[in-house]
Amino acid sequence: MTQQSLPSKVSEWLHKTGLPLEIAAASAFKQQNFEVTHSAVYADPQLDKGREIDVVAYARDGTGLLQGYAVIECKASPNPWVVLVSSSPSGNTYSSLGLTTQKTREALSAEALSTRHSLGSALQTLHVNGYGLRQAFCKDNDPAYAACISVMKAAKAQLEESHSKTERYKFVIPVIVVDAPIFECMVADDGELRLREVDCTSLNFTAYIPDRLSCTVRVVHKDALSFLARQIKRISDETFLSLQYKVDEWVQSLRKTDT
């Protein structure tokens, strides 16, 4: 092996890992003014051990009372990803926002999630009736399921993390970034399967880790990271705006305490 060939071999190895995807994801969210952490460590809620999630992007309001996160798992693979999509229309729910604290759900009205309002409209831009994720050409263990479990565990850990006695209004959006083609698969009216290539999609994923959790997981191709980051920024801003009245109430209560 010559000295000149070594860098190219290392570069080839790196591109087979998820590292270039991690860098691209972090860059896209930084451009939208998110704070970003690489290789964030969290406690696995099932195995009592530390694990890493590739990227965590987050935004907070000036008080720190409102907090929005995107936890991002990056998967490099030549095999395409397939999202199974229902033809039955459905609207936004609280799970469309990702995992949320009970306090957040109670503070956000169901009306705020409707498409007549800014938050509901923002959520609808990423809304797909997806219900399953598979990686094509895999015979045994499906990497798609493992990726969903991993990002959901990281989201749960992030949601439950607290460094203050004051409970925060918090939501966490799970994201899977891939560098292979993504297809949505739907059963057409004639009963045949139809595939449509997309660069960004979503699915509702349910897992027991160990309690039942269900929320929307976003799946995005690396070439659409800028689009997704902009949309999540919009969702974050609109969620903070919808919850601003809770910040006002909290600040007012502090003033009363001081007097």
In a domain, 24, yes or no: no
Inside any domain, residue 206: yes
Which residues fall within 8 angstroms of residue 188, CB to CB, at 6 or more apart? 194
Cβ(171)–Cβ(99) below 8 Å = yes
Confidence class for position 1, pLDDT limits 50, 70, 90: very low
217 part of a folded domain:
yes
Q: For residues 129-162, b (16+ Cβ closer than 10 Å) or e, as one string?
A: bbebbbbeeeeeeebbbebbebbbbbbbbbbeee
Whether the pLDDT of residue 4 is over 80: the answer is no
Averaged pLDDT for residues 206-221: 95
Say yes or no to pLDDT of 155 above 80: yes
7 found inside a domain: no
The enclosing H or E element of 113 equals: none
**Structural domain boundaries, residue 147:** 35-258
> Which pLDDT tens digit goes with each residue over 13-63?
777 777 899 999 999 999 999 999 999 898 887 777 889 999 999 999 999
Identify the pLDDT of residue 91. 81
User: Per the omega criterion (within 30 degrees of 0), is the bond before 210 cis?
Assistant: yes
Q: Is residue 208 part of a domain?
A: yes
In a domain, 234, yes or no: yes
Cross-strand partners of 238: none
| Integer Cα distance of 258 and 34 in angstroms | 33
Task: Kindly state the average pLDDT of the residues 102-110.
Answer: 93
208 pLDDT band, cuts 50/70/90, is very high
Domain-located, residue 231: yes
pLDDT at position 141:
73
Residue 13 maps to a domain: no
- pTM assigned to the model: 0.92
How many structural domains compose the chain?
Answer: 1
Residue 3 has pLDDT above 60, yes or no: no
Residue ranges of E strands in 24-144: 35-43, 50-60, 66-75, 81-85, 99-100, 130-135
